[in-house]
Structure 1
Amino acid sequence: MSSSTTSSDGKLLGVLVLTRHGDRAGFYQDPTTYTATGTIITPLGTQQEFQLGQLLRSMYLNSSSPLNIPGLNDTIVNQNQIDVRADAGGELGVIYDSAVALLQGLFPATANYTTDLANGTDIEGALGGYQYIPIQSVEPNLDVSLEGYTDCNTFTDATTAFYNSAEFKQKANESAAFLAMLPPYLDGRPTTLENMYNIYDFMNVQSIHNAAFAKVLPPTFLAQAATLASWHEYNVFTSPQLDGPGNIAGRTVLPNIINGLRNIANQTNPILFAYQSLAYKPFLSLFNMTGVAQTYPQLANLVNYAAAVTMEVRQPSDGSEPVIRFSFKNGTDAEFVQYNLIGADGDVTISALANHVNSALVNTTAQWCTVCNNTQDRGCGALTEAANAALASASASSSGHGHQRISPVGAGFLGAGLAVAVMLAMFGMLAFLGCLVVGRGTGKRRKARAASPDAAESEEKA
């Protein structure tokens, strides 16, 4: 499979890659809050991700490729040169396992992975030289960067408002006849437009894995369901305004994307390959916020299993600021196609992208708690308690009298001196909680799992 991306403009410094997970078993997600049940990756899913890793290897680690990244070790992985993060949220191990499989294709087992012992013995790594590559497992209760939409009250309110809108009611009326034909194929699932993603997901999973289902499903039904699900999900996970609640998935993932691009552009930083393994939701918000969905309407749709974005960082020959070249591959049967960001004609600078989205970014957990109107979940409860305790202490110290507790939001209306006192008092607790910066938390599973199914299964059970 080839790529339509060219390497004619400037030196390729490195690449940031975003991928959706591979094929998985079915699951269910609440159509309003988007909390999800767990599921598992399938053997097909691991193959899809492994083959995607092989493709990326042929593009960026092959010395004869026009896209070869200079200096990136292509045999034994140099762990200082790569940065890998994987969502460990509602779909549990599926997204993490997808990253493991992709990395096997990107850095395959090699007989060169050996060590000489003091007694003269030469030892090859286990499993034929399998390479264990660190993956940061991003746990949503500790780090909101990859799943900014769950437990986000303003997002839930916006979704509810969308379901009550005239536009949604019109679409529901238009699709009523089709939905009325679906109960025989849905195993009891509600056939409402609100539930459209779950309807499509069930039909899609069954069409792939259930021969009897695939045989009886009318030939147009899956495509019709996919069209409705795409319309549904794009409208839920986007907003016309950059800082709108529908864009929360993009607003939380973009800070790490921009930081990753800057790390690659900084030639004193060793990172040459940054990779994030995601659910489909951030892709929709990202395409909306960067303008590619508006310029290319075909991107205002669900992304397929093993879809991938590449954001190549290039140094122009005139020595000016590094630029980004954006390409997208929508699943295993597609090729990489180059698209223009933020309405530009060609590559854009990192600062241009950053300036375009900066006002909408959610950079800290505390900021997420405010944006999402949450004072209880995902660290917000601890932040609220810390703020109240700090305010109480500062107020008591300054007045010597009793006080009434106020919310963290209220702290913004206090004088500058009290605000400084509050921040100093909060700092120690926030650092302890790991809540200061979105995307900097350390996940529970840091090392990639072994390639053997038994090892992966044991960890999943744990």
Structure 2
Amino acid sequence: MADNTLLGVVILARHGDREGFYQDPSSYTASSTTITPEGNLQEYQLGQLLRSLYLNSSSESYISGINSTIADLDQIKVRADGGDEGGVIVNSATSLLQGLFPATSDYNVTLANGTTVEGPLGGYQYIPIESVEPDNDVSLEGWTSCGAFDTSTNAFYNSSAFQAKVNESASFLNQLSPYLDGRPVTLKNMWNIYDYMNVENIHDASFAASIPDTFMEQARDLANWHEYGVFSSPELAGIGNIAARTMLPSIFESFTSITDSDDPLKISYLALAYKPFLSLFNMTGAAQMNSELEGIVNYAGALALEIRNSSTSGEPVLRFNFKNGTDDNGFTTYNILNGTGDIPLSTFVNYLSPAAINTTADWCTVCGNTKDRGCGALALAASEASAAARVNQRISPVGAGFLGAGLTLAVCLAMLGVLVFLGFLTVGKGRSRQKKTNDVAEKA
């Protein structure tokens, strides 16, 4: 029997269409780029779809108790990756929210003089977005500046499986060279190759007309294989899964709020790059059970983790719904964790929580980083705490006596020095001090 009462939803959505972009193949250090009007539209339409599902009282997935006209800011929480791809992800979140909570004349206020003032732009609603900056918060970009991840990525490039794929794809890659505007044509650079081709195919009519029919699909297949190999690991807590491991605490926190009847939260929305999807699909077994998920999520692709009341047990269940960009008309429910359909929420949390990276300190340890993203401050604090602990070790009564006498003498000397500095006491001949004072006055 289906579980139909929806308590709330955690939405993970990729950004919309953007301009060109480059990532270092080893560290995935990214360049900045810009969202396009097409990307804004894709996200807006995704927001409209989510509204029709979750804020429409006639929908089977309507969230009971949610304010569907004027956004109740206690009922929605939005976090967006503020680092990867510049402002593209934050701007995508803004567009999605326009579709989710559109402008309305009901967004108004009546002033003391009786005048009713409607919000600008037809009652545009400004939903707060937390821009998650990677230097301050590792949760949405766990792979950045992570030495262990870089090592794992290079190990993948040196693996026998990768070398076999190099040989297998060599002929095709050689044919690509004329279309890549001088870019390195190697399997290691496959993400950048495909992304360049995809951007040009969308925005450059000459490129779209000249590229052979099968080349885009072949390049996409290689890029999917490449990225899934980088952002996944056979071990649940493997470093290849780090893009999801740092994100899990945000998801779990939202689950806790949604299932708490005293907490008003109904919708939690994480705006992301494609990478966390790969890791999460791998960790949950969704990719292994559904091979089409072993690849790059399309622009405006979205995962909806629905939390529902169970009709058969006393605990909530989770439904795993995914829509791969604008090419999909709607969401599809996928099986995960070797189960079928809805699974107990506790099963999901208990299985994944051991792999979660819960704090910056944990991330620093996992990545072997002692200087970046707050690790330097943590290392310094730990060093100072260790030094303080050594100073505060217990001493004998005799030692305490000597220490007390020494401190008393030090305090007296310090006070004497202050008095001398302020002129209340002089050391040596007073005439000498007076002469120096006169000299200074003359020079002035």
Match of 2:19 among 9, 22, 25: 25
Q: Residue in 1 aligned with 2:238? A: 244
Other-structure match for 2:167: 173
Q: Which residue of 1 aligns with 2:286?
A: 292
Percent identity at matched positions?
59
Report the 3-state secondary structure (helix = DSSP H, G, I; strand = E; otherwise coil) of the residue aligned with 1:160: helix
Counterpart residue type for residue 92 of structure 2: S
Question: Are 1:362 and 2:357 counterparts?
Answer: yes
Residue 196 (structure 2) pairs with residue 216 (structure 1) = no
Contact 2:333 2:341 in 1 (8 A): no
Do structure 1's residue 151 and structure 2's residue 157 form an aligned pair? no
Q: Scaled by the length of structure 2, what TM-score is found? A: 0.87
Match of 1:105 among 99, 102, 120: 99
1:403-451 superposed Cα distances (whole Å, 9 cap, x missing partner): xxxxxxxxxxxxxxxxxxxxxxxxxxxxxxxxxxxxxxxxxxxxxxxxx
Aligned length: 394
Gap runs ≥5 in structure 2:
396-444
SS at match of 2:326: coil
Q: Distance in 1 between matches of 2:11 and 2:154?
A: 33
Does residue 129 of the first structure (1) align with residue 123 of the second (2)? yes
> 1:319 Cα shift?
5.7
* 1:261 Cα offset (Å): 1.6
Q: CA deviation at 1:262?
A: 2.0
CA distance 1:383–1:190, change in 2 (3 Å): same
Query: After superposition, what is the alpha-carbon deviation per residue over 1:277-328, rounded to whole angstroms, capped at 9, x for unaligned?
Result: 0000000000001111111111111110000001111111356111101110
Deviation at 1:266, TM superposition (A): 1.2
| 1:176 counterpart SS class | helix
Alpha-carbon distance, 1:349 to partner? 1.7
Of 375, 387, 395, which residue of structure 1 is paired with 2:390?
Answer: 395
The secondary structure found in structure 2 opposite 1:332 is helix
Q: Quick check: 2:248–2:353 contact (8 Å CA) kept in 1? A: no
SS in 1 for 2:247: helix
| Kept after mapping to 2: 8 A contact 1:304/1:331 | yes
**2:86 paired with 1:63:** no
1:27-68, Cα deviation, whole Å (9 max, x unpaired): 100000000000000000000000000000001101111111
Match of 1:386 among 378, 381, 385: 381
Choose which of 354, 369, 372 in structure 2 pairs with 1:374. Answer: 369
Paired amino acid for 2:193: I
CA contact (8 A) 1:163 1:194 kept: yes
Choose which of 261, 273, 277 in structure 2 pairs with 1:279: 273
The equivalent residue for 2:156 is 162
Indicate the residue corresponding to 2:224 in structure 1.
Answer: 230
- Say if 1:388 and 1:225 are closer, same or farther in 2 by CA, change over 3 A: same
Q: Whole-Å Cα distance in 1 between the matches of residues 58 and 315 of structure 2?
A: 27
Measured in 2, the distance between the counterparts of 1:90 and 1:14 equals 28
Match of 1:302 in 2: 296
CA contact (8 A) 2:2 2:311 kept: no
Relative to structure 2, which stretch is displaced further, 9-18 or 197-206?
Answer: 9-18
1:8 shift after superposition: 4.0
What SS does the corresponding residue of 2:325 show, helix, strand or coil?
Answer: coil
Residue 311 of structure 2 corresponds to residue 317 of structure 1: yes
Local SS of the residue matching 1:316? coil
For 2:313 and 2:346, locate their aligned partners in 1 and report how far apart those are by CA, in whole Å: 15
Distance in 2 (CA, whole Å) between partners of 1:177 and 1:125 is 59
Query: SS where residue 183 of structure 1 aligns?
Result: helix
Report the CA distance between 1:357 and its aligned residue.
1.2
Q: Is the 8 A contact 2:83 2:133 kept in 1?
A: yes
Say which SS state the counterpart of residue 241 (structure 1) adopts: coil
- The one-letter amino acid of 1:369's match is C
Q: Deviations over 1:177-196 (max 9, x none)?
A: 11111121111110010000
Partners in 2 of 1:314 and 1:267 — Cα distance?
13
Q: Counterparts of 1:79 and 1:88 in 2: how far apart (Å)?
A: 21
Supply the AA of the counterpart residue of 2:55: L
Deviates more, 1:295-304 or 1:341-350: 341-350
Distance of aligned partners of 1:349 and 1:8 in 2 relative to their CA distance in 1, 3 Å threshold: closer
Contact map agreement 1:258 1:350 (CA 8 A) in 2: no
Encode CA deviations 1:189-228: one digit per residue, 9 max, x unaligned: 1001000000000000000000011111111111100000
Tell me if 1:341 matches 2:336.
Answer: yes
- 1:114 equivalent in alignment to 2:108: yes
The SS at the match of 1:274 is strand
Q: Which runs of 4+ in 1 moved over 6 A?
A: none
Query: Residue 353 of structure 1 corresponds to which residue in structure 2?
Result: 348
Q: Work out the CA distance in 1 between the residues paired with 2:20 and 2:314.
A: 48
| Secondary structure at the counterpart of residue 73 of structure 2 | coil
Q: Using the alignment, how far apart are the partners of 1:114 and 1:8 within structure 2?
A: 40
2:359 and 2:310 map into 1 onto residues whose CA distance is 33
Aligned to 1:190: 184
Corresponding residue of 2:326: 332
User: Gaps (5+ residues) in structure 1?
Assistant: 1-6, 401-462
Q: Is the 8 A contact 1:38 1:91 kept in 2?
A: yes
Counterpart CA distance in 1 for 2:120 and 2:350 is: 47
SS in 2 for 1:398: coil
1:139 and 2:143 matched: no
Alpha-carbon distance between aligned partners in 2 of 1:395 and 1:242, rounded to the nearest angstrom: 39
Q: Please say if 1:267 is aligned against 2:261.
A: yes
What SS does the corresponding residue of 2:25 show, helix, strand or coil? coil
- CA RMSD in angstroms comes to 1.1
| Contact kept? 1:14, 1:314, Cα under 8 Å | yes
Q: How many angstroms does 1:396 deviate by?
A: 2.0
Preserved CA contact (<8 Å) 1:33 1:156: yes
Q: 1:386 to 1:59 in 2, by over 3 A?
A: same
Aligned-partner SS, 1:182 = helix
Deviation at 1:120, TM superposition (A): 1.1
- Say whether the 8 Å CA contact 1:262–1:350 is kept in structure 2: no
**Per-residue displacement from partner, 1:335-393 (whole Å, max 9, x unpaired)?**
21101221112211221111111221100000000000000100001100110011011
Larger radius of gyration: 2
